[in-house]
Structure 1
Amino acid sequence: MHYQVKNNGDYTEKIGELVSMLDITRDGTLKDLEGLSVEDLDYLTDESANSIGMLLAHMAAIEFVHQLITFENRDFSEEEWKVWGAAIDMGEKGRSEIKGFPLSYYLQKLKEVREYTLSQLKMKTDEWLYTEGLWPNGVKVNHYYFWYHVMEDELGHRGQIRLIKKQLRSKSEI
């Protein structure tokens, strides 16, 4: 792991810096996941909580939908919603559908989604980052914000993962 935001040369200047930040964020997430069992990934702190597995599925789903929005200028299709909806919404649907998977399952989903992101970003320019659109409520948004949100979302959920892991450790000490 490194602690420098810098372009590795495979991307335009700003996109390379964004990729560096996405990579640093992911490296930290992966480090926090080492050694987790299926039981750890499925653990719920209470009946309305999200599990670590749900949070990981959500991270992959958020990145996937941001690919659709920024690379294809669209939202989920009906078929894609069937695949990713529980991970986007989490809640009761997530608790019933996202469980029983080993860490390798979640890591593979995160890897596949990220590989596609990186392949697409190699074809984009820094100007593309500033391409604007409007939320349905009329608020301006640009591609840069969407990819910042992918990183922000992962960081927020990584904090939740750390809290769940602390509770798991406390539970095992009883």
Structure 2
Amino acid sequence: MIDYRIVENEIYTGKIGSLVSMLEHTRAVTIDEVTNLTQKELDYLVDSSSNSIGALLHHIAAIEFVHQVISFEERDLNESEFMKWKTSLELGDKARSEKKNKPVSYYLHELSEVRENTLKQLKSKHDSWLFEEHKWPNDVPYNNYYLWFHVMEDEINHRGQIRSIKRLLLNDK
């Protein structure tokens, strides 16, 4: 059952607990949206330049992984991490050919594995960590709070795409 409240969680400090509540709500709605999809539905392409639902789900996991590395380890992806996630981060032609023929359980497992690490790492953080500032290579500042807001923002955006694809699937049946 999806919880429609943003609440603090006693396992985490105040603001981090609220952030976790938002991350978990966002994920619960995404999972609810895709749990019963077939492999054919996960692989469906609206046209030759669109992304499948499966590719979008793997992209959501990839974005969260990247933000773990940036915020928790204060570094960029190493070569092996980049190679593992590159296709899902970039999407496009390669994702259309590689991110298919997998059941929904595969994507749910990937999302769960990445999220498990996020929650584990957030347990060791305090609210002040959210406001720690860093700079992108182009000298633009950001903080950890923004990074995790972006993880939710990206997932919600792609969930909208998933819903649109599902509506088109219904029309094609």
Superposition TM-score, scaled by structure 2 size: 0.98
Residue 76 (structure 2) pairs with residue 65 (structure 1)? no
Matches within 5 A, 1:1-174: 1-172=2-173
Deviations 1:108-165 (A, max 9, x none): 0000000000000000000000011111221110000000000000000000000000
RMSD of Structure 2 on Structure 1 (CA):
0.6
Mind listing any 5+ residue stretches in structure 2 that lack a counterpart? none
SS in 1 for 2:134: strand
Moved more, 55-64 or 134-143: 134-143
Give 1:13's aligned amino acid: G
SS in 1 for 2:74: coil
Give the gaps of 5 or more residues in structure 1.
Answer: none
Overall identity of the aligned pairs, in % = 55
How many matched pairs?
Answer: 172
SS of the residue 1:133 aligns to: strand
1:75 and 1:154 map into 2 onto residues whose CA distance is 21
Which amino acid in the other structure matches residue 141 of structure 1? Y
- Supply the distance in 2 between the matched residues of 1:83 and 1:67 (Cα, whole angstroms): 15
**TM-score scaled by structure 1?**
0.97
- How far residue 35 of structure 1 moved from its aligned partner, in angstroms, is 1.3
Moved over 3 A (4+): none
